[in-house]
Amino acid sequence: MNPDLPKEKIGAGKSGRSFSPGLADSVRYLKGVGPRLGEKLGQKEIFTLADLLLYLPYRYEDRRELKKISRLKPGEKAVTSGKVVASGKSGFRRRPTFSVVIDDGTGALTLKWFRLPGNYLEEKLQKGRMVVASSVARSYDGGLELHHPELEILNEGEDLDSWSFGRIVPVYSLPEGFSQKSFRSLVARAIESCAEQLPELTPREMSAKNNWPLAREAVRNIHFPRADADLKELEEHRTVWHRALYYEEFFVLELALALSRREMVEAPAYLVRAGDRPIQQLRELLGFSLTPAQERVIREISGDLARRRPMHRLLQGDVGSGKTVVALFSALRAISSGLQVAIMAPSEVLAEQHWLVLHRWLDRLGIESGLLTSAIRGDERRQILERTASAQISLLVGTQALIQEKVEFARLGLAIIDEQHRFGVRDRLLLKSKGAASRAPTVGGTGRTPHILVMTATPIPRSLAMTAYGDLDISLLDQMPPGRKPAQTRLLSGKDEKKAWSEIKKRCNLGEQAFVVYPLVEESAKLELQDATRKFEELSAAVFPEFKLGLLHGRLAPEEKERVMEKFRAGQIQVLIATTVIEVGIDVPNATVMVVEHAERFGLSQLHQLRGRVARSAKEAVCFLIAHPPLTDSAKERLQVMTETTDGFKISETDLRLRGPGEFFGTAQSGLPPFRFADLIRDLKELALARNDAFAFADTVDLNRPDLAPLKKELLQKYGKLMHLARVG
Ligand code: ADP
Ligand code: MG
């Protein structure tokens, strides 16, 4: 009998009797985990036994067979074991090579560590110790060596344990205070104690349809795979056990999206029944004919608007594909049906831009529009608010402050959100919760929800279209207006920037215009970034004395920005030095050359947006990306992709892969909680499957079915508040 046992049990359990902890219990109740180790586990967010069970290994090691030393072959990855018979250091004192010789009775093998700091291993690998080592065997001086092997050092008197040897073993990202071996046996104990209690979230009909194993079986098998498991699938985290968990996780999200969507489209909306006359008028005003893609998307939107259910549609179209015109047609339908339209842009500059473009058309159609930014104050602001509340203004342009502040509309029929990737799910859902509710009273209690059109120039990868945008219908503007040439892209290093300047000179002498873009406004000595302000002065004085230069950055007052933009648009400024405020929406077809300084600092989608600013006419445009080494691998890949393709989808897929879904949206997060297991890129198949299943399921199944209780609970816990799932509970 182990004399320590009673003490441990008192420390661990609630009584001296045998106590089997459950899923929700603290890991401290596990035998051998005291407060100290409990705290270490907490650093990895492992608090309960459920957390521990769901803490999956990140890789595996094939230890089904321990090779005898005599049977090792050079070049082969092998797991072998033996007793330490000798050890020693050689080479430089501060960075020595440490060698250990082990023997298993069939032969001897040298383990080597080069430039080994500290003497941790030296202390651990004393003579007589049993070790298991794994690495690629190399032949050296007639013998075999393992360099920097993975080690498992057995404590005195310890046997090889069956969780760690003679099987495919899991390898975890370890909390402090644990070895792979001790952590493995901890997981094994948690599995024995309560894997049975893991809730099954996937409805049984969906498990049956897709042949999924139970979640508890999946968890068991992911930690301790069967001997006949497929190693490659394991390494890729794509066994059926893994995939079942991904599916489950996606299913919960997709069900939430399906329910959220159902609630949205069940709300009453204004019926838009506009005659075709104003539309015809607008067509005549345009001076160009719409692309077939524009025609198609306008039809899709008109179809939505003619229903009594609110539209929730995402319009994707690359920079320059003509989204504004589509927005204008949609707005016109709503307006000529007696409704109001709000257009929201992600920044004040862009809101101003939109308004400038739109109100020219609207004025000619006799439609009153207004602009509301923070620069508009006092009397003017009051008037705009009043005229909006009384429906004199039919179209109001602004930033998202339009939804966040209490701007009252008399009859808000359509909300258009531009450049959605800056908004995130959360902001969009604000429209769902507040859109109708906060304004309905002023409409005389109609309680109607506005139709919503979201526009984005960042092509949304399929995985995000099914998640972060999963509650929206999608329209695609997959065609550019005729005569557009994609910009040529050239990569330059900092010392070659003269080439870019001379191209600018050439272009400006032909009457064309140029952008020079910088990443930051203020000088940051640390990052050694070139400051746009300083550069503006330098370029004006030394490089382009013959041209008129302008400076545009985020710190300028809005009127000042507008003045600069107007001059650039009118051709009074030839070279515009700017920070990324020009990233989206700036439309000056005569600008045909762009220089992006410190291109390595920009995100991929951002670069794509920027470049789009100079591919807006039939003129041959060129974009110089100036990179200043040293470049990270990711920066190299970004720049490489930019020179290889102008395909927005390709670019955003790469961007998503490089940055991950959270970052992809820029500072505004996607707004969705992260996945525990699934990976949007790797597990796209399960995502698509879960989406189809969940949307079908939502239409037919009563969530109050007793066996669905765990699913319902998880759904509400994770997404209830975010998605305002009012009617699930
Ligand atoms: P984005 O999708 O980037 O918002 P815009 O709506 O700003 O694109 O359109 C870019 C430019 O192309 C604008 O000057 C717009 O007037 C013009 N444009 C839009 N549609 C067409 C078309 N069918 N034919 C020619 N020019 C068009
Ligand atoms: Mg636009």
Give me the pLDDT at residue 202, please. 97
pTM of the predicted model as reported, rounded to 2 decimal places: 0.75
pLDDT tens-digit map of 430-470: 665 544 443 433 333 456 788 999 898 877 788 888 888 88
Atom of ligand 1 nearest to the CA of 317: 2
536 has pLDDT over 60: yes
**Rounded CA gap, 46 and 629, in Å?**
41
pLDDT > 70? residue 726: no
Closest atom of ligand 1 to CA, residue 589: 14
Given a cut of 80, whether residue 360 has pLDDT beyond it is: yes
Say yes or no to pLDDT of 527 above 50.
Answer: no
* pLDDT recorded at residue 274: 73
Write out pLDDT tens, residues 653-709.
Answer: 888 888 776 665 543 345 678 889 999 889 999 999 999 999 999 999 899 999 999
Three-state SS for 676-711 is: CCCCCCCCHHHHHHHHHHHHHHHHHCCCCCHHHHHH
Atom of ligand 1 nearest to the CA of 319: 3
Integer Cα distance of 463 and 664 in angstroms = 12
- Give the pLDDT mean for 232-250: 97
Distance 294 CA to ligand 1 centre (A): 10
Element (H, E) at 319: none
Atom of ligand 1 nearest to the CA of 612: 3
Q: What SS3 state is found at 543?
A: helix
**What gap in Å lies between CA 304 and CA 271, rounded to an integer?**
9
Q: Which domains does the chain have, with CATH numbers?
A: 7-59+187-199+214-222 (no CATH), 65-166 (2.40.50.140), 286-477 (3.40.50.300), 488-645 (3.40.50.300)
Mean per-residue pLDDT for 331-356?
88
Please tell me the distance between residue 412's alpha carbon and the centre of ligand 1 in angstroms.
26
Q: Is the pLDDT of residue 141 over 70?
A: yes
DSSP type of residue 48 = B
Q: Nearest C-alpha to atom 15 of ligand 1 is from which residue?
A: 322
pLDDT score of 221: 97
Half-sphere exposure of 450 (CA within 13 A, CB side): 37
Check residues 56 and 117 and name the one with the higher pLDDT: 56
Question: pLDDT for 151-197, tens place per residue?
Answer: 888 876 666 667 777 789 999 999 999 988 889 989 999 999 999 99
Closest Cα to atom 18, ligand 1: which residue?
Answer: 322
- The alpha carbon of 321 and the centre of ligand 1 are apart by a number of angstroms equal to 6
Band of pLDDT at residue 581, cut at 50, 70 and 90:
low
- The rounded percent of the chain whose pLDDT value lies above 70 is 87
Residues with CB under 5 A from ligand 2 (ion): 585
pLDDT for 424: 59
User: Lowest-pLDDT range, 68-72, 136-140, 603-607?
Assistant: 603-607
Query: Which pLDDT band holds residue 647 (cuts at 50, 70, 90)?
Result: confident
Tell how far the Cα of 465 is from the centroid of ligand 2, in angstroms: 20
* pLDDT higher than 60, residue 525: no
Task: State residue 668's pLDDT score.
Answer: 38
Specify the pLDDT at position 558.
66
Higher pLDDT, 221 or 436: 221
Can you give the pLDDT at residue 2? 36
Cis peptide before 74 (omega within 30 of 0): no
Residue nearest to atom 25 of ligand 1 (CA): 481
- What residue owns the CA closest to ligand 1's atom 26? 481
Give pLDDT, residue 435.
46
Lowest mean pLDDT among 49-53, 498-502, 679-683: 679-683
Mean confidence (pLDDT) of the chain: 85
**Three-state secondary structure call for residue 605:** helix
Q: Ligand 1, atom 20: nearest CA belongs to which residue?
A: 322
Q: In what order do the strands lie in the sheet with 473-477?
A: 369-372, 395-398, 340-344, 412-418, 451-456, 312-317, 473-477
pLDDT at 13 over 60: no
Question: Residues lining ligand 1, CB < 6 A?
Answer: 288, 290-291, 294, 317, 319-325, 457, 481, 587, 616
Q: What is the pLDDT of residue 466?
A: 87
The Cα 344–Cα 351 span in angstroms is: 7
Terminal CA-CA length for the chain: 52
Ligand nearest to the CA of 321: 1
pLDDT tens digit string along 375-393?
788 999 999 999 999 999 9
Which-ligand-closest: CA of 590?
Answer: 1
Is residue 364 packed enough to be buried (19+ CB in 10 Å), middle (13-18) or exposed (0-12)? exposed
Q: What is the pLDDT of residue 3?
A: 34
Split at pLDDT 50, 70, 90, the class of 17 is very low
pLDDT at position 729: 53
If DSSP codes are grouped into helix, strand and coil, which group holds residue 542? helix
Helix (H, G, I), strand (E, B) or coil at 195: helix
What number is the average pLDDT over the span 602-619? 82
